Amino acid sequence: MRQILFLIVFIFAFGNKGYCQDSLLIMFWNVENFFDYTDGGDGESDKEFSSYGTRHWTKKRFYAKCDAVAKSIMWIGDRYGRMPDLIGLAEIENKGVLFKLLKYTALRKYYYEVIHFDSNDRRGIDVAFLYRRSVMDPESISLVTPEIDGTRFPTRDILHAEMNISNRYSIDFIVNHHPSKFGGEKESVGRRNAAMMALKMLCDSLGKDNIVAMGDFNDNPEGPAFDIIDGQLINLGAELHSRGEGTIRYEGKWDLIDMFLIGSELSGNAQMEVCRIPFLMVRENKHPGEKPFRTYSGPRYTGGVSDHCPIILKLIK
């Protein structure tokens, strides 16, 4: 009887959350201008986000954001019954920001490791991975820089890490932050197409179906750039977008520009969700509803974290 009760509790605890023993929880989040508070001489954005810059980005404000990011990740751990096994991040200034996040907040007790490389982005922001070394280890790491007509242009690199999961199987994780629509839709579509082509070529070179690509693609799932990857990766954001869900909100309307694209081998056991963390949402002034609570509203410091909601992938291998 005792064994039967244990089995019932086990099935309820894990089955109710959609997990089994052989499962992963993956997170992606654009944390919006996660700069340190010093001017390292690496461009205007670095100067802007410093104690003496126009944003007056002080040590106190920086560590307040670190604490809020950590609290958000731990909220997700509580919501889903486990801490994320791997976290893809966008808009990170440098590796030092991540080391401070992991050393000086409550995340230090979860033993995350960092994968990050500086890119040639004009604003000085990059993508990165945090992963729990008790769950996975990198077997190989590579970078891809998008090109137009054989010429690299200043944008974020695409970061790839093949991760060995508990010495049992491997998954290729790819984190993206594709060019924005700054300068207009028509002027920027070529840059997003180039970034998507770089992702496609990377997937071709891997020659596998156990791929999880995540990121801020700066376009909704029906954007033309997604035609490039159609048939190779399955867009888990398409159905959510059709239901009106989104990760950013503009003029009272949700757009879903952050999403997971996965290989066919994983598609039957994967579920994507948008996380609306209560303390990271704020009421809109001009429209009904809530929007993500960002760090700045124009030049004014408001104390939020990001204009993006994080997304979650529940994956059963």
CA 31 to CA 122: how far, in whole Å? 17
**CB-CB contact of 289 with 241 (8 Å):** no
Strand partners, 239: none
Least reliable range by pLDDT among 80-84, 267-271, 309-313:
267-271
Token pair, residue 306, equals: 């990001």
- The letter for the amino acid at 177 is H
Report the chain's C-alpha Rg in angstroms: 19
Residues 6+ apart with CB under 8 A from 35: 45, 46, 49, 50, 57, 62, 93, 97, 124
Domains and CATH numbers, the chain: 20-316 (3.60.10.10)
Q: Give how far Cα 236 sits from Cα of 22, 31, 251, 313, Å.
A: 21, 21, 25, 9
Contacts by 228-231, CB closer than 8 A, 24 or more apart: 228/193, 228/196, 228/197, 228/200, 229/196, 229/199, 229/200, 229/203, 229/261
For residue range 14-72, list pLDDT tens digits in order. Answer: 444 444 447 999 999 999 999 999 988 777 888 899 988 999 999 999 999 999 999 99
**CB-CB contact of 235 with 226 (8 Å):** yes
**CB-CB contact of 88 with 98 (8 Å):** no
Q: pLDDT class for 121, splitting at 50, 70, 90? A: very high
For residue range 217-268, list pLDDT tens digits in order. Answer: 999 999 999 999 998 999 999 999 999 999 999 989 999 999 999 999 898 8
> CA 65 from chain center: how many Å?
16
Q: What is the pLDDT of residue 114?
A: 98
What global pTM score does this model have?
0.91
For residue range 61-106, list pLDDT tens digits in order. Answer: 999 999 999 999 999 999 999 999 999 999 999 999 999 999 999 9
Q: What is the pLDDT of residue 39?
A: 82
